[in-house]
Structure 1
Amino acid sequence: MELRDRIGQALKQAMKDKDRNRLATLRLINAAIKDQEIATRGSDDAPALGDAEIRAILAKMVKQRNESVRAYEEGGRVDLAERERSETAVIEEFLPRQLDKQEIDAAIDRAISDVGAASIRDMGKIMGKLKERHAGQMDFGAVGARVKSRLA
């Protein structure tokens, strides 16, 4: 089933279950997808967003909410931080499982060997390979530093 359809089904189910918090989060997801479609609608023949683009939107939403959680906790607003965490949990249902540290290290090692990387100059190739294989499964901002340390 396509990701957009899964989100639509979850939205309908949340309406039936009268789960207000889940419903609100699913509506936020749909709004973010529609916003991106409108932004890319510049050309008349722009295709609808695919699963990869929707996953990127969802990953961005998760990252924003994690940053908000940190800010709310630093500000002593535990109630708002908890709401952000519950939104994150709903969004993450539609993303692939995140890799743990050992899996990330193994993926980095495999990408380095596949590319034949010898120096920091090959970092772009490695990151491209990782994004191709593990889109949505890791935070590439944090992974970049780990790749750099391996190549140094």
Structure 2
Amino acid sequence: MLIDRIRADLTQATKDRDSDRQRTLRSVIAAVQEEQVSGSEATVLDDEGVTRVLRAQVKRRADAAEAFEAGGAAARADAERSELAIIETYLPASLDDDELDRIVGDVLDREGFAAMSDMGPAMKAVNAEVAGRADGRRVADRVRSRLS
């Protein structure tokens, strides 16, 4: 499982005295544990659930890096980007533009979506195919451009 790999990498980072990696992996593990106990009852996240948490952590760090950069704290922005890069190593490879365009086209053609009124169902169908390998904004932009 993905969380077991992250824990093993944390152990290795501790042995290697890699404090940046240690800090990042500890925060990721904490976020996964927090997600597991949130809600009405505790659950164990599968790899898909852990990946969702990782994507949220990537987004959080990207937003923080932007904010620090805008606020003139370049060193803090660099630290956030460094953590983001560490977390991204645990995520599946993102789709490139051509691949995303192909998936969007295939799904829209197969499902018969052709008008902007189909945006909601089209997004649902495309996101099921993309399976988190592309940012939601990128997907929405591609679907919107194909439907207009």
TM-score (norm 1): 0.90
Structure with greater contact order relative to length (CA < 8 Å, sep ≥ 6): 1
Pairing 1:93–2:92 present: no
User: Do 1:33 and 1:54's aligned partners in 2 also have CA atoms closer than 8 Å?
Assistant: yes
Q: Please report the RMSD computed on the Cα atoms of aligned residues, expressed in angstroms.
A: 1.4
Structure 1 residue aligned with 2:143: 147
Summarize deviations over 1:104-134 as a string: whole Å, max 9, x none: 2112111111211121232233222222222
User: Do 1:95 and 1:136's aligned partners in 2 also have CA atoms closer than 8 Å?
Assistant: no
User: Do 1:65 and 1:85's aligned partners in 2 also have CA atoms closer than 8 Å?
Assistant: yes
User: Percent of aligned pairs with the same residue?
Assistant: 38
User: Do 2:123 and 2:140's aligned partners in 1 also have CA atoms closer than 8 Å?
Assistant: yes
Code of the residue aligned with 1:56 in structure 2: it is: R
Structure 2 residue aligned with 1:32: 31
**How many Å separate the matches in 1 of 2:127 and 2:70?**
32
Cα offset, 1:148, TM superposition: 1.4
Summarize deviations over 1:39-92 as a string: whole Å, max 9, x none: 03x13xx54111111111111111111111111111111100110011001110
For 1:146, what is the secondary structure of its paired residue? helix
Listed as ranges, the gaps of 5+ residues in structure 1 are none
Pairing 1:54–2:54 present: no
Code of the residue aligned with 2:14 in structure 1: it is: M
- Equivalent position to 1:121, from 105, 117, 124: 117
**How many Å separate the matches in 1 of 2:5 and 2:109?**
36
Structure 2 residue aligned with 1:105: 101
Cα offset, 1:146, TM superposition: 2.5
Q: Which moved more, 1:111-120 or 1:52-61?
A: 111-120
For 1:49, what is the secondary structure of its paired residue? coil
**How many Å separate the matches in 2 of 1:139 and 1:70?**
17
TM-score (norm 2): 0.92
For 1:132, what is the secondary structure of its paired residue? helix
Q: Which moved more, 1:103-112 or 1:75-84?
A: 103-112
**How many Å separate the matches in 2 of 1:115 and 1:9?**
43
For 1:69, what is the secondary structure of its paired residue? helix
**How many Å separate the matches in 2 of 1:140 and 1:60?**
12
Listed as ranges, the gaps of 5+ residues in structure 2 are none
Code of the residue aligned with 1:39 in structure 2: it is: S
